[in-house]
Amino acid sequence: MTVATDPRVELQGLSKRFGNVLAVDSVSLSIAAGTVHALVGANGAGKSTVGKMVAGAISPTDGRILLDGEAVQFGSPREALDHGVAFIAQELALAPDMTVMENVFLGVEPRHGSFVDRGSMRSSFDALLASSGFEVPGDARVRSLSIADQQKVEILRALCRGANVIIMDEPTSSLTRDESQRLHALIRDLRAGGMTIIYVSHFLEEVLALSDDIAILRNGRLIRTGPASAETEATLVNGMLGHAASADYPQRKPPPPGPPLLEVDGLSRAGFLRDVSLTVAAGEIVGLAGLVGSGRSELARAIFGADPVDEGTITIDGTQLGAGAPHRSFAAGLAMLPESRKEQGLLLDQPVAANTTLPFLGSSRRIARFGWLWKGNERDDVRTLLADLAVKPESPNAMVKTMSGGNQQKVLFGKCLFQEPRILILDEPTRGVDVGARHAIHNLIGSLAARGVGIILISSDLEEVLGLAHRVLVMRRGAIVAEFGADPSMDAVMEAAFGLAPAGVSP
């Protein structure tokens, strides 16, 4: 609790700017030695960025970090480790084909001249296990371990380098409930041994159970920090969301009554999706809400056919879609705007026209006949589309890599819309675009629905989902756990996403 001990770590006005975005805005925190201090916040609140700055993985734009009252400046996680600060990332950084022991001592192997002294390595390892109370087989290859055991290896690695501050970034996001419990037991043991732990998470339940103090971040700012005993899940959710200013969203026309255009029935994929069923009507915008890792993108990709599924059917207007393959989806009028435009969406070294028409080369008689391209028609059609979407520059020959993020995103839209789809899946349609482009994209989504396109909308920005959708489905751990009509309260959706007793359907 907040007994007046000396702060082990102190942040003073810490800020981080990425381009035009202020990801962390002058955060000041004081973290007592031997405590677990949690950082919570919605997606994009800046909690991970704060953790990474303390760990030396990101350098702050402004502000200071003090260790035991002394200002430090880390150029790399390695330097941080030299000062006793270890970082355990979401994605573990182990050498999978080496043994547990080799990973733990990687780079600090006990030596005998220039040879590794395996005997003393083993005795140090045993000593380490004894002092930490962990149980991991030292000779097992890391690849063969569960994620939870791999995390133990990461922690042992930090311990053997003398770390006394450990920052954990969403350590339980890929763990089962059981494994999470075990990790928590380990963390409590570490704390009892005097370790200071900064715990970044959006799982409120575990944060409340585990931490001494909780800091709440929203939009890069520290909302408050205080003892965990003074918080409840409801107060945390409230603090994380605040009262967001409502933006200007296009008016929603209720979809015309009719049979569902898209029916997804019992979709499952081991480890990702559990028995997901949903329907989308023509002209309807169905929002998918949920935390990062809840399975929203996996669901989108499974419906579209980009990922395989173990079970379940996808039916469009009464016709069942053949086994997962994007080319069949396009032919059936189902298009998807992928989550990451650079990795999954665009050919950066090709001009706009080649990007836009790629999905339709086989089906458009105007731009390709018997495999031969009609480039004049292609240019004309793409130019019209670019004008409709207000893409700058409005040239079909412009290279995609030279365009701004917002305009690249519009090109990606153009690719889905070159032939108007019947169903459009939008995965993070406004990620990384500026305010103007964002507004234009919202209007576009509204007008597509008004024209009768059925839309599945995924966004980490909950406000965007609530502002646009006719219906909101909430996902958690690969399943749909709640359904809401238009304009549900943000708190109710968040509660469902965090797994609190939802107001609507129970899981």
Partner 1 sequence: MPSAVNLDPGVDGGGATIAPEAPRGRRLTAEHVRDYGIIVVFIVLFIVLSITSPSFLSVDNLLNIVRQNAAVGIIACAATVVIIGAGFDLSVGAVYFLAGVASAWLAVHVNVPIGFLGGVAVGLLLGGFNGLLSTTLGISSFLATLATSLVFSGAGAAITKGFPISVSDTSYGTLGTGGFGRLTWSIIVFAIVAIVLQLMLTRTVFGRRVFAIGGNAEAARNSGVRVDRIRVITFVISGAAAALAGVIDASTVSSGGNDSGANLVLASIAAVALGGTSIFGGMGAVWRTVLGVLLLAMIANGFDLLSIASYYQDMFEGFVIIVAVAVNSLAIRQ
Contact residues toward partner 1 (CB under 8 A) are 18-19, 21, 57-61, 73, 75-76, 79, 304, 306, 325-327, 329-331, 336, 338, 343-350, 354, 358-359, 361-362, 368, 371-373, 375, 415
| Shortest distance (Å) from residue 79 CB to partner 1 | 8
For the bound state, the minimum distance from the C-beta of residue 283 to partner 1, rounded and expressed in Å, comes to: 24
Cβ closest to partner 1, residue 187 vs residue 337: 337
Q: Of 75, 32, 37, 40, give the one whose Cα is nearest residue 55.
A: 75
Nearer to partner 1, 213 or 378 (CB): 378
Distance CA 322, CA 193 (A): 57
CB of 275 vs partner 1, minimal distance in Å: 25
Compute the least distance from the CB of residue 249 to partner 1, in Å: 28
Residue closer to partner 1 by CB (options 226, 326) is 326
Omega before residue 393 within 30° of 0, cis: yes
Asked if 241 and 218 touch (Cβ cutoff 8 Å), the reply is yes
What is the chain's alpha carbon radius of gyration, rounded to the nearest angstrom?
25
Three-state secondary-structure class, residue 424: strand
Q: Specify the residue, 279 or 344, whose C-beta has the smaller distance to partner 1.
A: 344
CA 160, 161, 164 angle in degrees (round to 5)? 95
Closer to partner 1 by Cβ: residue 5 or 73: 73
Instruction: Work out how close the CB of 413 gets to partner 1 at its nearest, in angstroms, rounded to a whole number.
Output: 13
What is the SS3 assignment for 287? strand
**Cβ–Cβ < 8 Å for 160, 82:** no
CB of 71 vs partner 1, minimal distance in Å: 10
Q: What minimum distance in Å lies between the beta carbon of 70 and partner 1?
A: 13
Residue 236 CB, nearest approach to partner 1 (Å): 28
* Vertex 291 angle, CA 277 and 273, to 5°: 35
Q: How far is the CB of 443 from partner 1 (least distance, A)?
A: 25
Closer to partner 1 by Cβ: residue 346 or 475: 346
Q: Which residues of 16-33 are buried (b: 16+ CB within 10 A; e: fewer)?
A: beeeeebbbbebebbbbe
Angle at 42 between CA 296 and CA 502, to 5 degrees: 65
d(CA 137, CA 133): 13
Q: Between residues 296 and 415, which has the closer beta carbon with respect to partner 1?
A: 415
- Report the alpha-carbon distance of residue 347 to residue 354 in Å, rounded: 8
Nearer to partner 1, 61 or 395 (CB): 61
Distance of CA 142 to the CA centre of its chain: 25
CB of 120 to partner 1, least distance (A): 33
Distance (Å, whole) CA 306 – CA 4: 55
Which C-beta is closer to partner 1: that of 56 or that of 171? 56
Closest contact distance (angstroms) between CB of 416 and partner 1 is: 10
Q: Cβ(169)–Cβ(51) under 8 Å? A: yes
DSSP string for residues in 462-481: HHHHHHH-SEEEEEETTEEE
Of 23 and 158, CB closest to partner 1: 23
Q: Are 377 and 358 in contact (CB under 8 A)?
A: no
Q: Which is nearer to partner 1, 132 or 408 (CB)?
A: 408
Shortest Cβ 428–partner 1 spacing (Å):
14
Amino acid at 123: S
What lies within 8 Å, CB to CB, of 267 at 6+ separation is: 273, 275, 276, 277, 299, 302, 303, 309, 311, 312, 313, 314
> What is the DSSP-derived secondary structure letter of residue 173?
T
Single-letter code of the amino acid located at 67: L
Cβ distance to partner 1 smaller for residue 47 or 152 = 47
